[in-house]
A and B are shown apart, each in its own frame.
Chain A
Amino acid sequence: MSDIDLKRRNFFKTSLGAAAIAIAPGILLFDTAHGKAQTVSGKVRWGMLIDTAQCREGCNDCVTACNRENGLPGATSATAVQWIRKVDIKNTTTGRQVSLPMMCQHCESPPCVDVCPTGASFKRVDGIVLVDRHLCIGCRYCMMACPYKARSFVHEPVSDQNPDVPRGKGTVESCTLCVHRIDNGMQPACAEACANKAILFGDLNDPDSEIARKIRAVASVQLRADLGLNTGVRYQGL
C-alpha cells in the first residue's frame, strides 16, 4: 500500500474520533435536558426511617420545607391541607414524651387504593402511594379509609403552584414522597431539611442502601402494624 493511502486512512481515523468526541457530550446534554424517558423500576421500594430520638420537640423544619416545596398554605385548621404534621405523644404511665413527623406511610397494601372508585388513588411500582388528580372526583372515601389521617381535601382554589407540583381545588392529596424530586435523583424536601438527620430516606429493597442496613441493625416499628399494611415509613425509638 502506498504511503499516501496510509496517510489518508489515518486522517479519516483521527477525524472520525474527533467528531465522536465533539458530538458525544452534545448527545448526553440533550438527554439530560429532556429529562428521563424510562419508566420507574419495580425493583425499588422507597421508604423512610424516622429516628424519634433525633426529632426535636418544637422543631417544625420538615413541615416548613414540605409546605414550601409543594406550595401548601401551611394552615393547621380542620379543613386545611397538611401533608406532614408534627405530633407530640406522651406515655401517661411512664411520662416519656416523643416528638415525631407523621405523613402518608406509603403502605404496601394501601386501604386508600382499595376504596377508590375511580382508580385515582394508586400505588406506583416503586411503592409510592399517589393520587392521580386527573381521575380524582373528590369523593374522599380514601380520607375515611386511611388509618393515619394522612390525606387532605383541597377546599379552596389554588394559585401560583410549583410547576413541578400541580394541585387544585376539589381533589384529595397527600405526601407524594416528593416524587418529582425522587424522579430526578433528589431526596424528599423534609429529609433534606432535617438538621438532625432524623429522617433517613432510601430504597428498602436494596440490601446495601443506608436505610436497609439501618433497619437491619436497629429496632424500628411500623405504626399500626396490627393492620398488616406493611408501611414504607418506619419509626425508631417509639
Chain B
Amino acid sequence: MKRFASLLLCLCIPAALAAGTGAPTIDIGKGGQCVEDAQWMRKNHPHVLKHQRDETVHQGVRDTRHSLKGCIECHASTRDNSVTARADSFCVACHRYEAVKIDCFECHSDKRKSAWLQRNAK
C-alpha cells in the first residue's frame, strides 16, 4: 500500500508542476482516439488540413479522415458544439496560448453539422 501511495505521489508531482506553468486547459469535446498520434497532430495539423483542403476543393475528395469537418465532429465542445466559442474551446485554447491567429473560421463553420441542422431545420 505504501508503495502504491508513493507511486501515486510521483505521478502527481509532474502533473502539478505542469499545471503551474500556465499550460492551456483544453475542452477536447468527445475526444477519443485521434486519426494520428496526438503529439504528431499538435505539430502537423496545419499541413494535414491544407493538403486535405486542396484535394477536397479541386478533386472532390470528401474523405473525412483529415478534414476540418472531421476534426470538428470529434473535438467540438459537448456543451456548445463549437471549437471556437469559449477561451478553452479546442482550437482557441492552444492558439491563444501560442498567439497564432487562425483564419479558418472566417469562412468555415465552427459547429458540428448535426448542431447546425438542428438549428436550421424549419
Contacts and interface: CB of A to CB of B under 8 A. Distances in A.
A163 B112 contact: yes
B109 A34 contact: no
Contacts of A37: 61-63, 65
B108 A161 contact: yes
Contacts of A179: 60
Contacts of A166: 107-109
A168 interface: yes
Contacts of B112: 163
B60 A183 contact: yes
B25 to A, nearest CB: 26
Given A162-B116, A163-B69, A163-B112, A38 B61 contact: yes
B116 A126 contact: no
Nearest to B119: A160
Contact of A167 (B57, B72, B107): B107
B106 A169 contact: yes
B64 interface: yes
A197 B58 CA distance: 30
Interface residues of B, number: 25
A132 B50 CA distance: 13
A124 B107 contact: no
Contacts of B53: 134
A40 interface: yes
A158 interface: yes
Interface in A145-167: 157-158, 160-164, 166-167
B75 interface: no
A124 B58 CA distance: 6
26 contacts: A34-B64, A35-B67, A36-B61, A37-B63, A37-B65, A38-B61, A39-B61, A40-B59, A40-B60, A122-B58, A124-B58, A124-B59, A126-B60, A132-B57, A132-B58, A134-B54, A160-B109, A161-B108, A163-B69, A163-B111, A163-B113, A164-B69, A166-B109, A168-B106, A179-B60, A184-B62
Interface of B: 53-55, 57-65, 67, 69, 72, 106-109, 111-113, 116, 119-120
